[in-house]
Structure 1
Amino acid sequence: MELLIIMAIALGALWLMSSRTRKQQRAAQEFRNNLEPGDEVMTASGLLGTVVDVEDDVITLESSPGAHTRWIRAAIAKKIEPPVDEIDDADESEYEDELEDEDDVVDDADRISHANDDVIDVPDDLSSMPPVRKDGEPDSK
């Protein structure tokens, strides 16, 4: 009796996992079947490009202007949504408040010049790091 219960639970778990996998495969196939020129996509190998042409099972992608490559439909992993430029209203109002005190007008040049104000300088090697003592603590000479 106990063996039957264990087998039933195992079969149920296998069925649930396989149904989830089938559902994901169907969704991926539907996505690939609905590709149209102009869609931004990423291949399974990580190449980003724009769909230029769709012919049966061959998708032509443009990765840079004039560079066309042909891919099989199954190699397309996902659609990339174009980035949307959103401005955080809280950050912008805080920045504008600072400039209002100076009676300046905020323009793109001001924003660009202040973009790197909070940049942290990180060394690209360990030569500037203090040596480590044998007990694992940094040496504080």
Structure 2
Amino acid sequence: MHAGLGNLLILALPFLLLVFLFWSQRKRQQQAVQLQSSIAVGDQVVTTSGLFGTVTQLSDATADLEIAPGVVVRWDRRAIGSKVAA
């Protein structure tokens, strides 16, 4: 009886790992969509590469960030990694 349970466990572990990986990826995607929809002009943000800036303009695909007084750069909106806590 113990050998059957061991075989079942060996077969179930990879399946459970795959379920966990898909679930965590889906959760990250939902968080990214939520972040993108919450970004507004004037927000302080950090890009995925670590650049800090203030959102000055938004379009569906891009975000213009002021990184220094008078210096505005355009980024792909998906490159915004997080908002800076106020």
Given the alignment, which residue of 76, 86, 99 partners 2:80?
Answer: 76
User: 1:56-83 CA distances to partner (integer Å, 9 max, x unpaired)?
Assistant: 110010011111100001111111012x
What is the identity percentage for the equivalent residue pairs of Structure 1 and Structure 2? 35
Q: Aligned partners of 1:9 and 1:50: how far apart in 2?
A: 45
- Structure exhibiting the larger radius of gyration computed from Cα positions: 1
How far did 1:45 drift?
A: 1.3
Larger RCO (CA within 8 A; separation ≥ 6): 2
Aligned pairs for 1:38-117 within 5 A:
38-82=42-86
Structure with higher helix content? 2
Structure 1 gap segments, 5+ residues each? 83-141
More strand by share: 2
**In the alignment, structure 1 residue 17 sits paired with structure 2 residue 12:** no
Structure-2 separation of matches of 1:56 and 1:28: 15
User: Cα deviations across residues 29-74 of structure 1 (Å, max 9, x unaligned)?
Assistant: 2101221001000011111000011111100100111111000011
CA distance in 2, matches of 1:52, 1:7: 53
TM-score by length of structure 2 reads: 0.84
Where in structure 1 do 4 or more consecutive aligned residues deviate above 4 Å? none
Q: Distance in 1 between matches of 2:7 and 2:78?
A: 42
Deviates more, 1:24-33 or 1:53-62: 24-33
Consecutive unaligned residues in structure 2, runs of 5 or more: none
SS of residue in 2 equivalent to 1:52: strand
